[in-house]
């Protein structure tokens, strides 16, 4: 073999966990879902926990407004004052009852969009942020492509059935929500139950109550979301929920009993899955080789939702470059990274984390490995490849 190949990985640390049983099941037939299409994912990893026709292209109604909201938030214009156009004021369907020529903050429009599903608000936002309705629709489709929403086409900012080519999938809408939930401002807006906005020319404020009944009444773990309905799309719903550090996103399209669909999916998943730290951030413990011992680190943690059955089958492998001979890595020649963690469940790769040399000071975190540090073994082999 060539010198380059000979210098490839030769230290193999295999860590296999044999842990106690954890109550849980991956049998999704226990989940009652009325929707034509549905999906449930874990937010941080994006793992799909439940799916039904998740790639079917369907009309989505007002959950379209999640895209409108995140584009407005990301525009940096939330403190701008928007002048409401005749076109925006005259938009049909659910409304904030905006008046032509009225001046209102973009931030207030976004709250009205998400809490009361104002179609007039959607058009006012689009015209201001995109420069025109067409300009904003272009931005929506560009963002969809960026996120990876490969089976989605947007042709308006509100979801009304005014265009044949306006559709998405449960999977794509989960991707959009996962992206939006990374934004702190969006999370705050989507999770607000009541909002008060000044009204130009009036002595009283507009007061909006969130239409998401999971958030306001039905489900204590709900953290936000967006409702939707048109005659053609029927009931659509996106919600988020958190329990015991497990953050979930649920999407249903054409669901006669959407509130119950979401609660059924959440209750099943919270019972079946737990979020485990499979790789801890910081210095990697247990490496015996003198060159690497206490000197390599993972730059970030890796967490993943697993069932009890899967937890018994987790395999984590650490692979590192062969340690240098003499001074061959002097003068900044140390590879970066020097290796990687690979994490598998039942032979399926679920993640990789790079490993770097010369660990900085990182606060140690109590996690998966710490809890079970006395319950694994390490096999080490050190030899150059032939």
Q: What pTM does this model have?
A: 0.83
Q: What is the pLDDT of residues 227-282, one digit of tens each?
A: 999 999 999 999 999 999 999 999 999 999 999 999 999 999 999 999 999 999 99
Task: Report the pLDDT averaged over residues 274-294.
Answer: 91
Q: What was the pLDDT predicted at 322?
A: 86
Among 1-10, 53-62, 145-154, 335-344, name the one with the lowest average pLDDT: 1-10
| Burial letters 214-252, b for 16+ CB under 10 A, else e | bbeeebebbbbbbbbbbeebbbbbbbbbeeeebbbbbbb
Query: Which residue in 52, 65, 107, 234 is the catalytic one?
Result: 65
pLDDT over 60 (residue 5): no
Q: What percent of the chain has pLDDT over 70?
A: 83
Q: Residue 128 and residue 80: Cα distance in Å, rounded?
A: 9
Phi first, then psi, for residue 185 (nearest 5°) are: -65, -45
Q: What is the pLDDT of residues 358-370, one digit of tens each?
A: 744 545 444 444 4
CB atoms within 10 A of CB 378: 12
Q: What was the pLDDT predicted at 331?
A: 60
Query: Which residue in 85, 94, 117, 121 is the catalytic one?
Result: 117
Is 95 catalytic? The answer is no
Q: What was the pLDDT predicted at 113?
A: 98
pLDDT over 60 (residue 32): yes
- CB 328, CB 282: distance < 8 Å: no
Q: What is the pLDDT of residues 39-55, one digit of tens each?
A: 999 999 999 999 999 99
3-state secondary structure the chain: CCHHHHCCCCEEEEEEECCCCCCCCCCHHHCCCCCCEEEEEECCCCCEEEEECCCCCECCHHHHHHHHHHHHHHCCCCCCEEECCHHHHCCCCCCCCCCCCCEEEHHHHHHHHHHHCCHHHHHHHHHHHHCCHHHHHHHHHHHHHHHCCCCCECCCCCCCCCCCCCEECHHHHHHHHHHHCCCHHHHHHHCCCEEEECCCCCCCCEEEECCCHHHHHHCCCEEEEEEEEECCCEEEEEEEEEECCEEEEEEEECCCCHHHHHHHHHHHHHHHCEEEEEECCEECCCCCCCCCCCCEEECCCEEEEECHHHHCCEEEEEEECCCCCCCCCCCCCCCCCCEEEEEEECCEEEEEEEEEECCCCCCCCCCHHHHCCCCEEEECCECCCC
Mean pLDDT across the chain:
86
Query: Which residue in 62, 85, 121, 168 is the catalytic one?
Result: 62
Is 65 catalytic? The answer is yes
Task: Report the pLDDT averaged over residues 299-328.
Answer: 89
CB atoms within 10 A of CB 300: 12
Q: Which position has the higher pLDDT, 15 or 271?
A: 271
Q: What was the pLDDT predicted at 376?
A: 34
Extents of the domains making up the chain = 3-21+276-379, 28-272
Q: What is the pLDDT of residues 115-131, one digit of tens each?
A: 999 999 999 999 999 99
Q: Which CATH architecture has domain 3-21+276-379?
A: Roll (2.30)
Q: What was the pLDDT predicted at 335?
A: 84
Q: What was the pLDDT predicted at 16?
A: 32
- CB 266, CB 248: distance < 8 Å: yes
Topology agreement, domain 3-21+276-379 and domain 28-272: no
* β-bridge partners, 302: 279
CB atoms within 10 A of CB 195: 20
pLDDT over 80 (residue 329): no
Question: Residue 165 burial by CB count (10 A; 0-12/13-18/19+): exposed, middle or buried?
Answer: exposed
Enter the tokens of residue 157.
Answer: 């900012």
Q: What was the pLDDT predicted at 251?
A: 98
Residues 6 or more apart from 133 whose CB is under 8 A from it?
Answer: 87, 123, 126, 127, 156, 157
- CB 339, CB 355: distance < 8 Å: yes
Domain 28-272 bears CATH identifier 3.40.640.10? no
CB atoms within 10 A of CB 184: 9
Task: Report the pLDDT averaged over residues 286-296.
Answer: 88
Task: Report the pLDDT averaged over residues 334-350.
Answer: 91
């Amino acid at each position: 073999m060539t010198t380059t190949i000979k210098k490839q990985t030769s230290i193999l640390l295999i860590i296999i966990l044999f842990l106690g049983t954890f109550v849980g099941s991956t049998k999704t037939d226990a989940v009652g879902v009325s929707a034509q299409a549905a999906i449930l994912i874990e937010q941080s990893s994006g793992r799909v926990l439940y799916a039904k026709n998740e790639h079917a292209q369907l009309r989505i109604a007002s959950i379209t407004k999640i895209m409108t909201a995140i584009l407005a938030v990301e525009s940096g214009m939330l403190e701008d004052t928007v002048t409401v156009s005749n076109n925006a004021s005259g938009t049909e369907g659910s409304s904030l009852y905006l008046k032509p020529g009225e001046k209102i903050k973009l931030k207030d429009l976004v709250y009205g969009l998400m809490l009361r599903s104002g179609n007039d608000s959607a058009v006012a936002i689009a015209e201001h942020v995109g420069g025109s309705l067409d300009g904003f629709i272009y931005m929506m489709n560009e963002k969809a492509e960026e996120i990876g929403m490969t089976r989605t086409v947007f042709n308006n900012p509100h979801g009304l059935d005014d265009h044949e080519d306006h559709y998405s999938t449960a999977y794509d809408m989960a991707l959009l929500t996962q992206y939006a939930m990374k934004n702190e401002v969006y999370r705050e807006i989507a999770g607000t139950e009541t909002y008060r906005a000044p009204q130009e020319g009036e002595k009283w404020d507009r007061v909006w109550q969130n239409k998401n009944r999971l958030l306001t009444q039905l489900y204590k773990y709900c953290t936000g979301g967006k409702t939707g309905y048109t005659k053609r799309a029927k009931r659509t719903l996106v919600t988020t929920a958190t329990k015991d550090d497990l953050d979930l996103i649920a999407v249903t399209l054409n669901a006669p009993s959407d509130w119950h669909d979401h609660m059924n999916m959440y209750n099943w998943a919270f019972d079946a899955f737990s979020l485990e730290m499979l790789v801890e951030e910081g210095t990697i413990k247990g490496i015996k080789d003198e060159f690497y011992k206490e000197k390599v680190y993972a730059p970030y943690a890796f967490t993943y939702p697993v069932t009890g059955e899967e937890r018994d089958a987790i395999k984590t492998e650490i692979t590192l470059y062969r340690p240098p001979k003499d001074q061959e890595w002097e003068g900044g020649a140390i590879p970066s990274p020097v290796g990687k963690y690979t994490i598998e469940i039942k032979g399926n790769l679920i993640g990789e984390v790079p490993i770097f040399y010369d660990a900085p000071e990182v606060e140690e975190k109590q996690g998966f490995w710490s809890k079970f540090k006395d319950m694994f073994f390490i096999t080490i082999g050190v030899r150059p490849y032939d």
